[in-house]
Structure 1
Amino acid sequence: MNKQKAPLENLKIIRDELKKRNWAVDVFLFQYKKQEYIVLVKVYSEREKKDSKYAIVKLEFIKKRGRNENFCTYADLYKIHISDMKSFRKFFGIEYKENLGDVIQQFTQQFSTFIPNQLIVDKEIDLKSSITEYLNKTDMDSSKGIYCIGVKRNGTKKDGTSGQRSPENNQKAAIFRPELFEKLKDDTTISFCFSEDPSRQKTDEDILLRWKEKKNNS
């Protein structure tokens, strides 16, 4: 007898693929009550305390037509967790009902039908820009921007080990400089540096030459 699939199993599939790539976030579209939402699926970092031991991902819902409005929560395999029902109902335009458990269950069921069953790398412009905005806010290894200006060696941590490239920086480099990333990805102690100024962008050849010179002089 086949085991029944958990309602939000696809979130775990996406999370596992993100972790395999050492990426931080995925995004897809969700429609509810004729309103479209951009959904960010975020991986818990190693240094981050989970909201629950059963939590698999963090979720951020953003109104597609009102990008400054968002709702953040988390999910396990079976449901989306709502700590503030009033904010939840207001954000999604849900009228008050006595049985709130049924409301969340119905919402989770509809949401589950929009979750892709795999990580889709090639995104439409709106979704790609949402990923870019998130990575620019959370990438601690570099400045904001999508124009690669070089690479740097990460510092040494307190325990004497080398600092590792963050999932955010890893994903940003893989998206915006895929060929350069492929050449340097195996050295996880390197981070990629970005700028918002397109005039500062360097070619792969220039970045690799500079990096080689740095290593030879160190």
Structure 2
Amino acid sequence: MENINILLTYLRLNGWHMTSFPFYYKKFEYIVLFEDLNNLNLTNDDRYSVLLTFIDMSDINRRLTVKANSFCFKFNVVEFRKFFNIAYTENLGDVFQEFYEYFNKFIPTEANQNVTNEELQIIVNQLNRRDNDNNMCCYAVKRNPQINGKQCHRTIFNSEKCRRLKPALYIEFEHDDTISFCFREENELPVAEILKNFAHNEIKNIKLS
């Protein structure tokens, strides 16, 4: 599955944490979430570089998550077989190898930024899980504080959510990760208003310092 390394390299070079792509197997349609394991606080295992989440599009609550590298997946055999409706045979190793070769054909070499609204929702929901934030309406930006003399930085998940939902605002602060994007449940604000409010707060803080 050499495309895993190619796509992962693309994500890292372009500052993305994750992407998605469709996968079809045995007449079932899946959306695959492809995440960089380096950004996730999971058990260290240098053998694997990405986290794949297969989502059954006929029931988006039906999911299978596996660690992966360019050679194989890390999975529970019974769970994997059940999820993909793979019958038991004595040569399962060959079956899995055929699966890997087939799956590799679906892995793109670049992240697709023109995702459907449904895919975008799935991606943002996953980013929210990673960042413990369930909101989607951007209404402000804030300068992160220093704690015990150490500067706090925004997470890659916060960056990517804004990059996907409000790209014009993200561009304004792309190279300053001491600033985070703020989201709430409703009442999204226009970019111009967010920037105006931020400038006002910056001036106010300068006067108070």
TM-score between both structures, scaled by the size of structure 1? 0.86
Q: Which amino acid aligns with 1:148?
A: C
Q: How many residues align?
A: 205
Output the amino acid matched with 1:215: E
1:150 maps to a residue whose letter is: A
Question: Cα gap change, 1:214/1:79 in structure 2, threshold over 3 Å: closer, same or farther?
Answer: same
Which residue is equivalent to 2:13? 20
State the Cα distance separating 1:27 from its structure 2 match. 0.6
1:180-210 Cα distance to aligned partner (Å, 9 max, x none) = 111121111111011221xx21121211111
Alpha-carbon RMSD: 1.8
Q: Does 1:55 align with 2:42?
A: no
Structure 2 segments unaligned to the other structure (5+ residues): none
- Structure 1 residue aligned with 2:63: 70
C-alpha distance in 2 between matches for 1:81 and 1:129:
27
Match of 1:180 among 161, 169, 173: 169
User: 1:193, 1:50 → 2: CA distance?
Assistant: 29
TM-fit CA distance, 1:9? 2.1
Aligned positions of 1:188-207 closer than 5 A: 188-197=177-186, 200-207=187-194
2:158, 2:180 within 8 Å by CA — same for their partners in 1?
A: yes
Counterparts of 1:174 and 1:186, CA distance in 2: 12
Amino acid aligned to 2:56 = K
Whether the 8 Å CA contact 1:51–1:74 is kept in 2: the answer is no
C-alpha change, 1:52 and 1:45, in structure 2 (3 Å) is closer
The residue type equivalent to 2:35 in the other structure is K
CA drift at 1:155: 3.2
After superposition, the Cα gap between the structure-2 partners of 1:46 and 1:133, relative to the gap in structure 1 and judged at 3 Å, is closer
C-alpha distance in 1 between matches for 2:202 and 2:28: 53
Q: 1:80 aligns with which of 73, 85, 93?
A: 73
Distance 2:42 2:6 in 1: 21
List alignment gaps of at least 5 residues for structure 1.
1-7
Paired residue for 2:141?
A: 151
Contact 1:145 1:195 in 2 (8 A): yes
Measure how far apart 1:50 and its partner are.
Answer: 5.4
* Identity across the alignment (%): 32
**Range with bigger deviation, 127-136 or 55-64:** 127-136
Match of 2:122 among 130, 140, 143: 130
For 1:68, the aligned partner's letter is N
1:112 counterpart residue number: 104
Q: Give the whole-Å Cα distance in 2 for the aligned partners of 1:66 and 1:47.
A: 26
- 2:64 match: secondary structure: strand
